[in-house]
Amino acid sequence: MAKEVALVVGAGPGLGMALGRRFAEGGFTVAIASRDRARLDASAGKGIHAYGCDAGDAASVAATFDAIARDHGDPSLVVYNASAMLRGSVLDLDPAEVQRVWQICCLGALNVGQQAARRMVTKGRGTILFTGATAALRGGANFAGFAIGKFGQRALAQSMARDLGPKGIHVAHVIVDGLIAAERNQAFQADHGPDSALDPAAIAEAYWQLHLQPKSAWTQELDLRPWVEKF
């Protein structure tokens, strides 16, 4: 009997790969996708398969889903984890850069979510998860360019949950409210303590539990943060 398939779009070395490993441990065949497939090839194997995908391009996303379906079957668990950061005063923002970030954070989420939903609706089940951020809840000074995309992604997740929930598809938005532990954040953790950043494996476990939830008690939005954070 064929394994179920999971897809992680935006599979960097931190959370994206942690998600791939957790889903593989759960018995899924896992596809990981990024614009730079070569960066992913070293992480493939052991039930994890790399694909190239430009999430902001609807045709590229459709082609990626078609390739995964041919190779392994349609995914029943899809995570949109792609993102792009942009900082700067609204006085200085480059509209082209804002558009680029919006295209990755928001339009890419629509492209991936739409392709996933179209395949899941025919089966009457599936899980679609979006990785959000603090900027999805409030726009901070110097973060307008990032917040525009993340606010839009959150609105998309809410609309999709209302549209697709009655069709058997669980849609949830996960707010990762804090830094994720990674090599580039070692200086921050050294200054603020080892528990000041979120463990990618712990975040991945939360996503896995969202997928396992019974439909009588689905979570639509989950807020994850380090226990030491004051909020």
- Between CA 164 and CA 122 the distance in angstroms is 12
Buried/exposed 69-95: b ≥16 CB within 10 Å, e otherwise: eeebebbbbbbbbbbbebeeeeeebee
What does the pLDDT profile of the chain (231 residues) look like in tens digits?
568 999 999 987 789 999 999 999 999 999 999 887 767 656 666 779 999 999 999 999 999 999 999 999 999 999 999 988 888 898 999 999 999 999 999 999 999 999 999 999 999 999 999 999 999 989 889 989 899 999 999 999 999 999 999 999 999 999 998 777 764 556 655 556 677 778 999 999 999 999 999 999 999 999 999 888 877
Domain count, the chain: 1
Task: Please report, as a single letter, which amino acid is at residue 219.
Answer: T
Residue 162 falls within a domain, yes or no? yes
CATH for 186: 3.40.50.720
Predicted pLDDT of residue 198 = 87
Residue 108 falls within a domain, yes or no? yes
Residue 230 falls within a domain, yes or no? no
SS3 213: coil
Instruction: Report strand pairing: 169-176 vs 48-52.
Output: unpaired
Quote the domain boundaries for residue 209: 5-223
Phi/psi at 32 (5° precision): -120, 140
The residue behind tokens 């929930």 is 165
Buried/exposed 116-138: b ≥16 CB within 10 Å, e otherwise: bbebbeeeeebbbbbbbbbbbee
Task: Indicate whether this model's pTM tops 0.75.
Answer: yes
Residue 231 falls within a domain, yes or no? no
Reduced DSSP (H G I as helix, E B as strand, rest coil) percent helix, strand, coil of the chain, to 5 = 50, 20, 35
* Closest of 141, 122, 45, 40 to residue 82, by C-alpha: 40
Residue 229 falls within a domain, yes or no? no
Q: SS3 string of 78-143?
A: EEECCCCCCCCCCCCCCHHHHHHHHHHHHHHHHHHHHHHHHHHHCCCCEEEEEEEEHHHCCCCCCC
